[in-house]
Amino acid sequence: MKKRIVFITDCINVAYNELRGVILDNIKSEEIVVEPVVPVAPFSIINGNFVLRLMADAYPKGAVFSIILNPSKERPARLIGKTKKKAFYFMGANTGVFTWLFGDFGVAELYELNDPGFFPFGGKYVHAPAVAQIAMGKSLKDMGHPFDIEKVVKLDIPKGTIVHIDNFGLMKFTGNLTGLNEGNKLAVAVNGKVLQAVYAKRMMSRETGEWVIYPGSSFGLPELGKARENGAKKLNTKIGDIITFNKI
């Protein structure tokens, strides 16, 4: 099976091509594949958490997840390691972006990459070459030193938090939909606005322009959307906003 390198990043313009180019220049095996970029909302550790966890659900075991997403004022440690479940390799800054992945997949190995010092665009000059080495099978312990799991930054994502907004304006948020039945009317509050929605198992079966809360496609997370319209634009929502709802 080919080993796949998956970049999860907000560097989605020419910067991604630079990252990919560095990887291709450093790998010596046709059995390593660099996947298309997986985009993250700029500077959003919340969205990074969701996207990384989503890719872990989708990719086969042994993939190498490279997370380049760092809005921090201070330089955080660069973490490398391996998960217990599905034996994924990972590399990324200690910003809280690993919270969801570590919670669901566990940590088998964890190291801090040996620090070569500051470089402008460290993702290109430090991160990408290290990812290439990981993909080629270099021992993690030879690339860094053990990192205390208790020092990993944990991100708190409260119930109702919007973790992703797709290009259709559909908003994925944390929570559950227990106790709801098809057609239940709901009072929804988000971003200082109150609206009426309906619960349905299939959002597209509802009338155009109708607000709907429904079971989404991503490991049981609920979604809020406006049938055949961009609901997120209507509400001017952003990742991190909180959605609450009650039956009417």
Per-residue pLDDT reduced to its tens digit, 213-240: 999 999 989 999 999 999 999 999 999 9
Q: What is this structure's pTM?
A: 0.95
Question: Is 1 a residue whose pLDDT tops 80?
Answer: no
Residue 7 contacts residue 38 (beta carbons within 8 Å): yes
Q: Round the average pLDDT of the chain to a whole number and report it.
A: 96
| Confidence label for 115 from pLDDT (cuts 50, 70 and 90) | confident
pLDDT band for position 51 (cuts 50, 70, 90): very high
pLDDT of residue 14: 96
Instruction: State the Cα–Cα distance between residues 243 and 224, nearest whole angstrom.
Output: 9
Backbone CA torsion sign across 43, 64, 7, 223: negative
Residue 245 has pLDDT above 90, yes or no: yes
DSSP alpha helix (H) spans, 36-166: 45-58, 99-105, 122, 128-135
Query: What confidence tens digit (pLDDT) does each residue in 78-87 have?
Result: 999 999 999 9
- The answer to whether the beta carbons of residues 222 and 214 sit under 8 Å apart is yes
- The pLDDT of residue 28: 82
The dihedral over CA atoms of 167, 158, 152, 130, expressed in degrees to the nearest 10, equals: 0
CATH number for the segment(s) 3-151: 3.40.50.10790
3-151 and 162-247 share one CATH topology? no
Task: Kindly tell me if the per-residue pLDDT of 101 is higher than 90.
Answer: yes
Q: What's the pLDDT band for 207 if we cut at 50, 70, 90?
A: very high
Query: What's 41's DSSP letter?
Result: -
At 73, is the pLDDT very low, low, confident or very high (cuts 50, 70, 90)? confident
For the chain, what percent of residues have pLDDT higher than 70?
100
Spatial neighbors of 19 by CB under 8 A, at least 6 apart, are: 7, 9, 11, 66, 68, 123, 124, 127, 128
Q: Report the range of poorest mean pLDDT among 51-55, 98-102, 219-223, 241-245.
A: 219-223
pLDDT of residue 120: 81
Determine the average pLDDT of the residues in 85-95.
Answer: 98
Q: How confident is the model at residue 116 (pLDDT cuts 50, 70, 90)?
A: confident
CATH of 162-247, one of 3.40.50.300, 2.60.200.20, 3.30.70.20, 2.40.30.90: 2.40.30.90
Contact 57, 27 (CB under 8 A): no
Q: pLDDT at residue 38 above 80?
A: yes
Name the residue ranges covered by the structural domains of the chain.
3-151, 162-247
